Structure formats: structure tokens, C-alpha cells
């Protein structure tokens, strides 16, 4: 049972274009929504994150849009560059089962972004 659904699986964008990746969730217990970026041969690294009481967060060329009522959130990459070519994962956090401080971090299946010159 996939708790965080991510689309598209792959995305090709021209340099300077806008890359858009979408995610949806069902579990209302999720309370934080980070995006991770992964380059080949490396571990994922946090890119940007948003709390559910905020509808939009922008950091440089990266923006998260969050729609709590629709249980959807998306990553927009403006002025996409070849260096942005990577796999992007949306994720969601909810409290785990071991009391205070216990949080599960659940990932979507990832989107492989290729930015072509």
C-alpha cells in the first residue's frame, strides 16, 4: 500500500523550462512534507520542505505548493538547469510507534528529471 504517490516517473525538460513533480497522500496523520534530491551513486539529500499549515514555500528556484484539502503537494523547479538532473523524491512524516521523538519518514517512488541543453 503506497502511502505517498508521486508522478511522473520520469520527466524531460529543456534548459530554462519549468519542471513540475506532483505528489498525493491519503493519511492525514502526515505532518511534514520534505523533498529530497538524489544524484547517481549518492544518498538522498534534503532539498526543501513544508509544513501543512503553509500553502507555498520558495527557496531560490525551488517552490513547494501544498493543498491540504486535496492532500496534494508539488515541487516546481524554475529555470531548470542541466545540473538539476537527478531523481527527486517527495516524502511525508508521521509519528511512529515508540512515543515522543519517533517519526516515520515515507517516500514516494521518485521522479527522474533530465534537463537537456
Q: Which residues of this protein are in contact with another protein, per CB under 8 A?
A: 6, 9, 31-32, 34, 41-46, 49, 51, 89, 93, 96-99, 101-110
Task: List the grid coordinates of 13.
Answer: 525538460
Residue 2 or 81 with smaller CB distance to another protein: 2
Q: How far is the CB of 10 from another protein (least distance, A)?
A: 10
Find the radius of gyration of the CA atoms of the chain.
Answer: 14
Nearer to another protein, 76 or 112 (CB): 112
C-alpha dist (Å) from residue 39 to 5, 66, 95, 97: 21, 25, 28, 32
Distance CA 12, CA 68 (A): 28
Residue with cell 526543501: 48
Nearest to another protein of 1, 69 (CB atom) = 1
The least CB distance from residue 35 to another protein, in Å, is 11
Work out how close the CB of 15 gets to another protein at its nearest, in angstroms, rounded to a whole number.
27
Amino acid at each position: 500500500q503506497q502511502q505517498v504517490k508521486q508522478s511522473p516517473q520520469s520527466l524531460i525538460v529543456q534548459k530554462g523550462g519549468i519542471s513540475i513533480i506532483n505528489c498525493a497522500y491519503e493519511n492525514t496523520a502526515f505532518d511534514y512534507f520534505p523533498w529530497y534530491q538524489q544524484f547517481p551513486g549518492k544518498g538522498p539529500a534534503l532539498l526543501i520542505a513544508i509544513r501543512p499549515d503553509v500553502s507555498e514555500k520558495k527557496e531560490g528556484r525551488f517552490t513547494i505548493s501544498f493543498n491540504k484539502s486535496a492532500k496534494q503537494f508539488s515541487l516546481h523547479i524554475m529555470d531548470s538547469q542541466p545540473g538539476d538532473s537527478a531523481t527527486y523524491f517527495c516524502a511525508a512524516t508521521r509519528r511512529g510507534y515508540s512515543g515522543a521523538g519517533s517519526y516515520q519518514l515515507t517516500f514516494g517512488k521518485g521522479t527522474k528529471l533530465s534537463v537537456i541543453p
